[in-house]
């Protein structure tokens, strides 16, 4: 079930038997010369929507802008400050809790989001602690590549040249879902360099085409489909386990 393609009455009815929602979250940022700018929000959305097609799960609208300041020197990147990002996550959660949701599962597609998402959760819990009351809802963060079995599959598919940004695994996922948007390029070097992440100017100087340690030419739609199917099945299991946690 997709929240944004449902009516309020349908969501009210669902809340009578399920109070859990999955929120795909990512970033709109450069992914090298062939990676789509939306890769980091498309991947969790693709996986979540595949899970929706195969299981009883509610998927919320995708939170598609995140922590991408270090990519701003590449046109098309859109970024939020950490403080803005935290405030927005907080209000998403408060809005869903107001409706009656008790479990909010964030499926993340951008490693740069992790620290700030976790900090946003901490702020929400702190509100309740200082007020001397229970929060009433719980939040969980999971990176899609850390879903059970996904990392091992990607390692088998791409034993060399996977890297950490514009990776062939994430490119493959978008190729599977959007075959008409597949791009090609000649990479030099074939496997990109790697190193630290700092501000935008430093990043562009270190990684001229935007890749970090990766060879996206290894990606294929077939490999992406394998990743999506496995990730969707793992997501259904993890959401069910989260939903089954005891309420207090």
Dump pLDDT digits (tens) for 22-69.
999 999 999 999 999 999 999 999 999 999 999 999 999 999 999 999
Q: Domain for residue 88, yes or no? A: yes
Q: Domain for residue 86, yes or no? A: yes
Q: How many domains does the chain have?
A: 1
CATH of the domain at 201: 3.40.50.10310
pLDDT at 61: 98
Q: Where residue 219 falls among pLDDT bands split at 50, 70, 90?
A: very high
Structure tokens at 18: 């399920």
Q: Domain for residue 228, yes or no? A: yes
Q: Where residue 248 falls among pLDDT bands split at 50, 70, 90?
A: confident
Residue 162 clears pLDDT 80, i.e. is over it? yes
Q: Domain for residue 248, yes or no? A: no
pLDDT at 132: 82
Mean per-residue pLDDT for 186-190?
94
pLDDT digits (tens, 9 = 90+) for 140-149: 999 999 999 9
Q: Could you please report the per-residue DSSP string of 67-96? A: S-GGGTTSTT-BB--HHHHHHHHHHHHHHH
What value does the mean pLDDT of the chain take? 96
Q: Domain for residue 207, yes or no? A: yes
What residues make up the domain containing 20? 3-243
């Amino acid at each position: 079930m997709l929240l944004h393609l449902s009516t309020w009455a349908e969501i009210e009815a669902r809340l009578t038997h399920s109070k859990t929602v999955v929120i795909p979250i990512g970033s709109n940022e450069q992914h090298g010369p062939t990676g789509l700018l939306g890769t980091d929000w498309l991947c969790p959305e693709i996986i979540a929507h595949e899970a929706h097609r195969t299981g009883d799960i509610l998927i919320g609208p995708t939170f598609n802008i995140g922590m991408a300041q270090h990519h701003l020197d590449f046109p098309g990147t859109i970024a939020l400050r950490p403080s803005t990002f935290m405030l927005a996550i907080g209000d998403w959660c408060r809005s869903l809790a107001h409706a009656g949701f008790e479990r909010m599962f964030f499926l993340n597609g951008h490693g740069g989001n992790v620290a700030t998402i976790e900090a946003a959760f901490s702020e929400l819990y702190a509100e309740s602690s200082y007020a001397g009351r229970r929060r009433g809802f719980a939040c969980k963060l999971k990176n899609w590549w850390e879903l059970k079995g996904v990392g091992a599959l990607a390692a088998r598919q791409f034993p060399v040249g996977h890297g950490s940004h514009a990776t062939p695994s994430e490119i493959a996922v978008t190729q599977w879902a959007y075959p008409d948007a597949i791009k090609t390029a000649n990479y030099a070097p074939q496997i990109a360099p790697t190193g630290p992440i700092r501000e935008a100017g430093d990043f562009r100087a270190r990684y001229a085409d935007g890749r970090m340690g990766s060879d996206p030419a290894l990606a294929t739609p077939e490999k992406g489909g394998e990743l999506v199917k496995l990730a969707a099945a793992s997501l259904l299991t993890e959401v069910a386990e989260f939903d089954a946690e005891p309420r207090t």
